[in-house]
Amino acid sequence: MNTGLFRPASVAEALALLARLPEARIIAGGASLVAMINARLVDPAALVTLAGIEELTGIAEAPGGGYRIGAMVRHRDLALQTRFGGTLAVVQMAAVQIANATVRNMGTIGGAVAHADPGLDYPPALIAADAKIEIAGPGGRRQLSAQEFFVDWYATALQPGEMVSAVHLPAARPGVGLYHKLARVSGDYATVSVALTMAHDGEAIDTRVAIGGCGPTPLMIEEVNRLLSGRPSAQDLRRAGELLQDAADPVDDVRGSAEYRLMLIPRMLARAYDEARVRGGAT
Ligand SMILES: Cc1cc2nc3c(=O)[nH]c(=O)nc-3n(C[C@H](O)[C@H](O)[C@H](O)COP(=O)(O)OP(=O)(O)OC[C@H]3O[C@@H](n4cnc5c(N)ncnc54)[C@H](O)[C@@H]3O)c2cc1C
């Protein structure tokens, strides 16, 4: 049973509350947490809302390029971003495809990454974009790559008493960023998703791919990125799909069988790769 709602005005105050009340749970947008409370999956002793912390709001341009996205930035605000060009478009494109307008108005990027549901749209997009997650804790601030941050089913590198304070995007690179999601119906979680960035640097082409919905954490394989960078042959593309299939660890659930998900991986990869190549003007 809830015994209290705490509304800190700063990250330091929030961290002090988490240290004092180890059974308390952070609430951000509440989209997932309230559903879990209603379903009696969790029963936090207290809730610490981040809604009053100014530092966690807003999207700031970083001095060397890139952006710092406060943990409380809503999906809606990222979906409406017009500043994310080039490779960073992958993040905006993922935000647009989250659920429906109601959930996008409630949910936050910090809440989504902390929740770490394998069907979420941001995790693969942030990995493809080479984003970093900023963590605030009793020992100060630290940053982890999105790839290091997601560690297992619904599990992240957050330690007790820590919270997500921001997500950092690197400077956009010229090229293409795209996010393809296959869901049973519009607004559902992904059965399988593909996040892909293709950066053009003169003649060089650098491709990064992350697959969502096919295991505990988004799947990114350096060998796949290497195969798809430059000007890959049809055989390279096929090999990349096979490598991802081999490494995937999907489950059977209401959104599709493991077998179906494995079948989708090379098909969705090829479609995303072809679209990126055409949009990027590569031959
Ligand atoms: C009906 C429905 C459909 C959805 N469909 C999709 C979808 O298609 N795609 C998609 O990507 N998502 C989907 N979601 C999830 C949505 O994106 C949520 O908003 C998100 O997962 C959680 O964000 P939140 O801000 O609401 O977090 P909350 O619900 O407030 O919190 C979620 C969890 O994260 C913790 N937490 C929150 N913020 C922080 C923080 N800053 N630091 C540390 N821990 C924190 C909380 O303690 C809790 O455990 C859906 C949700 C619902 C209810």
Strand 46-49, strand 5-6: pairing: parallel
Q: Tell me the HSE value of 47 on the side-chain side, using a 13 A CA sphere.
A: 15
| Predicted confidence band of residue 281 (pLDDT cuts 50, 70, 90) | confident
Mean pLDDT of 7-35: 97
- Dist. CA 117 → ligand 1 center (Å): 9
Complex-level ipTM: 0.98
Mean pLDDT of 113-133: 97
- Ligand 1 atom at minimum distance from 158 CA: 43
The pLDDT value given to residue 2? 52
Quote the CA–CA distance of 172 and 66 in Å, as a whole number: 6
Q: List pocket residues of ligand 1, CB cut-off 6 Å.
A: 25-33, 35, 50, 71, 98-99, 103, 106-108, 110-112, 114-115, 120-122, 158, 163-164, 189
| Predicted confidence band of residue 106 (pLDDT cuts 50, 70, 90) | very high
- Residue whose CA is at the smallest distance from ligand 1 atom 40: 164
Beta-bridge partner residues of 136: 141, 163
CATH topology for the 1-48 domain: 3.30.43
> Do 14 and 8 meet the contact criterion of CB atoms below 8 Å apart?
yes
Domain extents for the chain?
1-48, 175-280
* Overall residue count recorded for the chain in this entry: 283
Say whether pLDDT at 3 is over 80.
no
CATH code of 175-280, in short, is 3.30.390.50
> Do 97 and 121 meet the contact criterion of CB atoms below 8 Å apart?
yes
Helix residue spans in 119-257 (DSSP H): 122-128, 146-149, 222-228, 234-247
Say whether pLDDT at 53 is over 80.
yes
Quote the CA–CA distance of 52 and 47 in Å, as a whole number: 13
- Dist. CA 89 → ligand 1 center (Å): 21
Q: C-alpha angle with apex 53: 4 to 96, nearest 5 degrees?
A: 105
What tens digit of pLDDT does each residue of 230-250 get? 999 999 999 999 999 999 999
Q: State which of 5, 11, 15, 33 you would mutate to test the pocket of ligand 1, scoring each by most atoms of that ligand within 8 A of its C-beta.
A: 33
